[in-house]
């Protein structure tokens, strides 16, 4: 299964972005209100510059206390984005996410943000794929020709 199939089956294919100057407090509020775990940092909403997750905010709070919430997200975002493309294999992407110990991966093509998938999205897609394979194999085995 390819990433594009995961994007197509997502209930909400929108990607939440914030600008680099957005405060951590404002970003945390967006995460809480939207019930999501990450935002993409982008000046124009199209070209990703980084990613900010709940973990990034917790690490900042642990190191600096509540005063860090006034800092801009660009000070605490992950700049070295790990991305995938629509035609990438979902199992490969799942492996990269597991190995890198992150749960969100921007889908980028020609330098432009086209979506965001989570480790949950990829696991769900893989389980669906495995269930279909199982049903097909059971059908072939039980077929009385």
What local confidence, expressed as pLDDT, does residue 126 receive?
A: 84
17: β partners: 40
What local confidence, expressed as pLDDT, does residue 145 receive?
A: 56
**Pairwise CA distance, residues 93 & 88, whole Å:** 7
What local confidence, expressed as pLDDT, does residue 133 receive?
A: 79
Which stretch of DSSP H or E encloses residue 51? strand 50-53
**Pairwise CA distance, residues 81 & 77, whole Å:** 10
What local confidence, expressed as pLDDT, does residue 115 receive?
A: 94
What local confidence, expressed as pLDDT, does residue 13 receive?
A: 65
Q: Which residue ranges form the domains of the chain, and what is each CATH number? A: 3-142 (3.10.580.10)
What local confidence, expressed as pLDDT, does residue 139 receive?
A: 79
- pLDDT truncated to tens, each residue of the chain (145 aa)? 899 999 988 866 689 999 999 999 999 999 999 999 999 999 999 999 999 999 999 999 999 999 999 999 999 999 999 999 999 999 999 999 999 999 999 999 999 999 999 999 898 888 888 888 787 888 788 876 5
């Amino acid at each position: 299964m390819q990433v594009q199939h995961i994007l197509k089956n997502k209930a909400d294919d929108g990607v939440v972005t914030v600008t680099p100057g957005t405060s951590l407090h404002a970003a945390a509020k967006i995460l809480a209100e939207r019930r999501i775990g990450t935002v993409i940092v982008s000046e124009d909403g199209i070209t990703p510059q980084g990613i900010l997750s709940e973990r990034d905010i917790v690490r900042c709070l642990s190191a600096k206390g509540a005063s860090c919430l006034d800092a801009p997200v660009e000070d605490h975002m992950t700049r070295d984005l790990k991305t995938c493309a629509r035609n990438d294999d979902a199992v490969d992407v799942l492996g990269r996410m597991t190995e890198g110990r992150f749960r969100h991966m921007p889908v980028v093509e020609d330098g432009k943000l086209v979506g965001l998938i989570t480790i949950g999205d990829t696991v769900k897609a893989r389980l669906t794929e495995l269930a279909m394979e199982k049903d097909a194999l059971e059908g072939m085995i039980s077929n009385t020709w």
